[in-house]
Amino acid sequence: MSAAIRILLQTTIPTAADDWHIGRFSLLRDHLASLRDDRGAPLYDVVARDRSAGGDDPVLSTLDASDVDQLWLFAVDSGNGLTPDDCGGVSRFRRLGGGLLVARDHEDLGSSVCTLGGVGAAHHFHSKNPEPQERRTRDDTFAANISWPNYHSGRNGDLQVLTPVSELHLVLRRADGSAIREFPAHPHEGAVSAPPDQRARVIATGKSAVTGHMFNLVVAFERGASGDGRALAHSSFHHLVDYNWDTSRGCPSFVTDPVGHHLERDPSGLSDVQTYVANAAAWLGGR
């Protein structure tokens, strides 16, 4: 019997009650921890934490020397969430074969991930590594305080249609072989793309509910020629946070967008993203 894969769920901010702290990812944590092999043993040993306050984070900066197999990093900072040593530890971790999922959000939210080796280049922000000039325009026109990139895939609490790109990737495959089609929606998602010098490709796109523009949702990185671990880059951590799976869980006070009710009326709509989570953990772990 294989040992459980150790997954670290980590934010880029110190614990703060009125923010996107790691406690707001409890449904993801519980779902990963509930997954079992055919003998009933847990597939994953899940640890969840916020970054430490001040200086280098003692876990991220030394991640390459840890027993962690996968890092699911939720970049919820305003631009200063990772120190150079933090990024160095995470980059070395992936170079040694560790699996990595990095999710950010609109404008400059999470822009500290830009210096992560390889995967950082997949993330485009307002002030760092911006999208091509023709994309530097406001998509969500309702939140006047949020600038590009801010793709409007729908209201929190609703679902968006996910479109697989090219050959259906393993992480987007349902048990019956059909494609995952729905992800939690969010009014202002960020921007990701596949770096041309990496073994990476866009595997899923979404469509703006405001402008009709297509935008990238997920980029997948295959194992590098030198053994780099697999990785996934998400346009928004709202695909995986409690509030977008169940709005009754609440959100920080600065979130004032109108709420959708699709998942409140039909929680079974979460089945696709829950399948994705299970697939992503298995794929990142080489299973």
- pLDDT tens-digit map of 134-187: 999 999 999 989 999 999 999 999 999 999 999 999 999 999 999 999 999 999
pLDDT for 128 equals: 96
* Angle, alpha carbons 135-141-142 (nearest 5°): 150
Picking from 227, 276, 287, the residue whose alpha carbon sits closest to that of residue 101 is 276
* Angle, alpha carbons 121-124-128 (nearest 5°): 90
**β-pairing verdict for 99-103 and 70-74:** parallel
Statement: residue 1 has pLDDT above 60: no
Q: 66 has which bridge partners?
A: none
Q: Is 31 left (phi over 0), alpha (psi -120 to 50) or beta?
A: alpha
Give how far Cα 248 sits from Cα of 188, 200, 243, 265, Å.
Answer: 20, 36, 7, 12
Q: The domain that contains 10 carries what CATH number?
A: 3.40.50.880
Statement: residue 31 has pLDDT above 90: yes
Question: How many distinct structural domains can be found in the chain?
Answer: 1
276's enclosing H/E stretch is helix 271-284
46 token code pair:
């899940």
CA distance 271 to 258: 24
Domain hosting 162: range is 5-284
- pLDDT tens-digit map of 248-277: 999 999 999 999 999 999 999 999 999 999
